[in-house]
Amino acid sequence: MRNMCTSFRCLVVVISFLGCGSNNSKTVDAAPVVDAFFSTCGEPGDVGDPDGVGKFCQSGSDCLGTAPLCSVIGSKTTFFCTHLCTFGSAGTCDADDTCTCEGSNNAPPCACTPTHCLNGSA
C-alpha cells in the first residue's frame, strides 16, 4: 500500500508538471507601443517651415540639419524645432513664426515659435 501511495504522488507531480507546460498558442501583438504625451505645441508629423521651425522633435538630435534646438529642452509640453532670435529684430523668424522670449520684458533667451501655437490653435 505504501508503494502505491508513493507511485500515486509521483503520478500527481508528473501530471501537474505536464499541465503547467507552456504550449500557449496565443500570438503576441507586434504593434509598437506609443507613449501618450500632452503637447501645447508640436505634434508627430509636423514638418515646420523652410528653416525647420515647427518641425516635431523630442530631442535636439531630431532637429539636426534644421532649426538646431528642440523646445522640449525648456518646456516639457512643447515639441518643435526652433532657433534663437532677437526680439524686435525683423527677419530673425519666418512669417509663420514669432520671436518669443522667456524672460520678462522680452529679455533673452528668445526663440522662434510657430505663431499658431501662440494663438491657442496648436
- Alpha carbon dihedral 42, 44, 49, 54, in 10-degree steps, equals 20
Domain assignment present for residue 25? The answer is no
Predicted confidence at residue 35, as pLDDT, reads: 59
Span 81-95, average pLDDT: 87
Domain assignment present for residue 45? The answer is yes
Domain assignment present for residue 100? The answer is yes
Q: How many domains does the chain have?
A: 1
> What is the DSSP secondary-structure string of 18-67?
HHT-----PPPP-PPP------SB--TT-B--TT-TTBB-SSGGGGTTSS
Predicted confidence at residue 32, as pLDDT, reads: 53
Predicted confidence at residue 16, as pLDDT, reads: 34
> Where in the sequence is the domain holding 48, given as residue range(s)?
38-122
Domain assignment present for residue 42? The answer is yes
Domain assignment present for residue 112? The answer is yes
Task: Give the global pTM.
Answer: 0.65
CA 38 to CA 44: how far, in whole Å?
12
Span 95-111, average pLDDT: 84
Cβ atoms 71, 110 nearer than 8 A? no
- Assess whether pLDDT exceeds 50 at residue 9: no
Q: Determine which helix (DSSP H) or strand (DSSP E) holds 16, and give its type and residue range.
A: helix 2-19
Span 94-101, average pLDDT: 90
Predicted confidence at residue 11, as pLDDT, reads: 31
Tens digit of pLDDT for each residue in 28-75? 445 455 556 689 999 999 999 988 999 999 988 999 887 899 998 888
Predicted confidence at residue 63, as pLDDT, reads: 93
Domain assignment present for residue 31? The answer is no
Domain assignment present for residue 27? The answer is no
- Assess whether pLDDT exceeds 70 at residue 22: no
CA 120 to CA 93: how far, in whole Å?
19
Cβ atoms 71, 111 nearer than 8 A? yes
Domain assignment present for residue 29? The answer is no
